[in-house]
Structure 1
């Protein structure tokens, strides 16, 4: 009984000592924090330094951007003066150093014929079969008729025995239009869909040499290319050599043509074409534009300058498409107002 009491007293004493020690330790830490707030100051100072670095970085970027804008403004001003004075073409600078290296230091001068800058004031002779789109716009009512199967125009029908004598020819064009960003992220689209499309493309084209496929968006193709083995890369190169796989347009993306600045249109086209040249030795000849919200002559002009000889466009107002179909002018030469033919 005495031993049990002794253990109880001894255990209680130890518990009290432990609790009192913890109390003294916490109190000491609190006093040390009050007397020596150096650690907190260091933490706050570190956060301020990081914030200051970010602000300094933004200020440097803003300053560089202001220099670029100033150089562009000076270039346009000098170009306008030269055109107004009829001094002829401006001297072209050597661009081999690259646009990024030259822009911050001096204006870029490119060879632009003076007549290209005055196209809006010129008059043009019209060929007998030439279509002027401004006249077409005035002609059409842009209504919304219910045309049957094709709601905006034609009532499509046929007889069951119509193709007994001559079989109907159906042309199927497997093609790509993979937006880098729409309902999913770039990586989500690649993981869920794009990589499977490209993997199946290699298998199916090798099964039958009559099958063909065209691909447009190099941003996705380059990511897939970096993730496949040497054997599959060799198989892709053989498909390209046999003409079964064609790289159409070859831009980094299929860009919007309505609101995009021409700098961005050129930049993404350069990115894709340079990748194709480095990795596949391919130079696209055909443009594939099936999803931009309308099409601009500027894009056709840029494609021509990039070496493309033809293009397919899709998103045209239904009234215009119906008019072209009726007039049998869905295939046409695209001539811009400043005189270049696509």
Structure 2
């Protein structure tokens, strides 16, 4: 079956955007090393290096495929171990937009307990490396797992960083229900009263309230739902 992958909105139809992306915790149930190499899977099955190793040939196999990678702590570790030929290939994928490095920090930082200086430092560290290696700057904020969101992220690490948009998932259940009912999950967030419109950024909260795909679109090996029938 050949799919029409041309971009564009079709009037009168519900337009669905499928966004393949990473969400690789830089330490949670396992250590950073265990997540990267895929050890201690009795706690959680996860191997970040396998994601990156399989991602590149998958993108090369079909130029219509796209992917966004988020966590620089893992990406940089993988990148330093690659051959010059692989690095050149990845640089081409980034330059053509098939592979996009978004958010750009070493991790997807918390927005509640973390001091804003630490948020700035880890974001700067990641963005600087991306600029050095690929000569690009991340354009999208991707805070899909922090529990709650701050004006600092919207203004200082969103609009001021130069992001085109900021996306997140976890918001208060009552707020999410209200926004879903009113179709206001997408909005313009002004992170600073004093800075006015210069602090505004297009923002979107995920429909489901978390970063997982909706029912019927979960394609992992441990999926127990009914298969999609074409």
TM-score (normalizing by structure 1): 0.50
1:328 to 154, 169, 183: 183
How many residues end up aligned between the 2 structures? 177
Matches of residues 13-92 of structure 1 in structure 2 within 5 Å? Answer: none
Closer/same/farther in 2, CA of residues 333 and 258 from structure 1, 3 Å limit: same
1:216 to 42, 47, 70: 70
Where does structure 2 lack aligned partners over 5 or more consecutive residues?
1-11, 39-46, 202-230
**In the alignment, structure 1 residue 202 sits paired with structure 2 residue 67:** no
2:23 to 170, 177, 196: 177
Identify the residue that residue 264 of structure 1 maps to in structure 2: 118
**In the alignment, structure 1 residue 341 sits paired with structure 2 residue 196:** no
Q: Which has the higher strand share?
A: 2
Q: Cα deviation per residue 1:234-288 (whole Å; 9 max; x = unaligned)?
A: 1111111221111111011100001111000100010001111111111011111
CA drift at 1:331: 1.2
Tell me: higher relative CO, structure 1 or 2? Use CA pairs within 8 A at least 6 residues apart.
2
Where does structure 1 lack aligned partners over 5 or more consecutive residues?
1-165
3-state DSSP of counterpart to 2:184: coil
Q: Cα deviation per residue 1:182-230 (whole Å; 9 max; x = unaligned)?
A: 1111111111111100111101111111111111111110000001111
Identify the residue that residue 170 of structure 2 maps to in structure 1: 315
Q: Cα deviation per residue 1:289-327 (whole Å; 9 max; x = unaligned)?
A: 110111111111112211112111111122211211211
Task: Provide runs of 4+ in structure 1 moved above 4 Å.
Answer: 166-170
* CA distance in 2: counterparts of 1:223 and 1:309, whole angstroms: 27
TM-score (normalizing by structure 2): 0.73
RMSD: 1.6
CA drift at 1:341: 1.6
Matches of residues 113-128 of structure 1 in structure 2 within 5 Å? Answer: none
3-state DSSP of counterpart to 2:200: coil
Identify the residue that residue 101 of structure 2 maps to in structure 1: 247
Q: Which has the higher helix share?
A: 1
2:91 to 237, 246, 250: 237
3-state DSSP of counterpart to 1:334: strand
